[in-house]
A and B are shown apart, each in its own frame.
Chain A
Amino acid sequence: NAGVTQTPKFRVLKTGQSMTLLCAQDMNHEYMYWYRQDPGMGLRLIHYSVGEGTTAKGEVPDGYNVSRLKKQNFLLGLESAAPSQTSVYFCASSFAPPRAYEQYFGPGTRLTVT
């Protein structure tokens, strides 16, 4: 049981390049989330999904796209990376409420855009 895994762990991009971050969970969770964590600002929700084939915007969705083609995977895409997207990205998953609703987090991906 691996929990929530994220690929890659580190990445350096040049401005304008694109990339996809992969999140996978093996807990059969319905909900999945992408956050970014910047110094002194806590975590901010980028996008989330309440089930396979569905996605929704969070607090800071601009510049990102997501897809959830399979229940266990949630992809985060950056089409044209900008230095402002330098951050640590966390994926999380949870059951739907009112079941045990705590989020389980992946280890994070540290992204630097130069």
Chain B
Amino acid sequence: AQKVTQAQTEISVVEKEDVTLDCVYETRDTTYYLFWYKQPPSGELVFLIRRNSFDEQNEISGRYSWNFQKSTSSFNFTITASQVVDSAVYFCALDNFNKFYFGSGTKLNVKP
């Protein structure tokens, strides 16, 4: 069975703090993709990053960074120096063979 767990339901931080969103996944397959999406209050879903199971390199994009560790089945997302505009629900997702499984999401509140 495939499963994605985002144990943090809601996180509140003050602007400029760093915050890490956790994602743990389960799959028996060796080939799969992992994703992060952002859903701001307006409701649309915005793609942030894709990682395939054979690429464990961490990635940094501006204030965003991702830590993929197959040994612990985790794909964590860190926002450095958070901003109010980062307030949103963030979803981690797992795909193998075209079936996507989303976590339940982490709501991030960034206060000024």
**A56 interface neighbour in B6, B91, B98, B100, Cβ under 8 Å:** B98
Which of the 9-residue segments B14-22, B41-49, B57-65, B78-86 touches chain A?
Answer: B41-49
By a CB distance below 8 angstroms, the chain A residues around B9 are 40
Chain B interface residue number, banded = 20 to 34
How long is the Cα–Cα vector from A31 to B99 in the complex, in angstroms?
Answer: 11
Q: Does A77 contact B (CB under 8 A)?
A: no
Does B101 contact A59, Cβ atoms closer than 8 Å? yes
Interface 0/1 of B13-57, CB less than 8 Å to A: 000000000000000000001010100000111010010100000
A101-B50 contact in complex given A42-B91, A45-B100, A56-B98, C-beta closer than 8 Å: yes
A102 touches B100 (CB 8 A): no
Q: Are A43 and B98 in contact (CB under 8 A)?
A: no
Q: Are A31 and B35 in contact (CB under 8 A)?
A: no
Q: How far is the CA of A28 from the CA of B52 in the complex (A)?
A: 23
Known: A40-B104, A41-B104, A42-B91. A104 touches B98 (CB 8 A): no
Interface residues on chain A, size class: 20 to 34
Minimum distance in angstroms from A106 CB to a CB of chain B: 8
Partner of B104, one of A42, A102, A104: A42
Within 8 A of B (CB), among A31-47: 31, 33, 35, 40-45
CB-CB under 8 A from A33, the residues of chain B are 100
Report whether B98 and A108 are in contact in the complex, using a CB–CB cutoff of 8 Å.
no
- Complex: A98 Cα to B50 Cα, angstroms: 11
Beyond A41-B104, A102-B50, A104-B47, is A59–B99 a contact (Cβ under 8 Å)? Answer: yes
- B77, CB-defined interface residue at 8 Å: no
Query: Hey, which chain A residues are within 8 Å of B47, CB to CB?
Result: 102-104
Check A74 for interface membership: any CB of B closer than 8 A: no
Interface residues of B (CB under 8 A from A): 4, 6, 9, 33, 35, 37, 43-45, 47, 50, 52, 91, 93, 95, 98-105
Where the two chains meet, the residues of A that have a C-beta atom closer than 8 Å to any C-beta of B are 31, 33, 35, 40-45, 48, 50, 56, 58-59, 88, 90, 92, 97-98, 100-105, 107-108
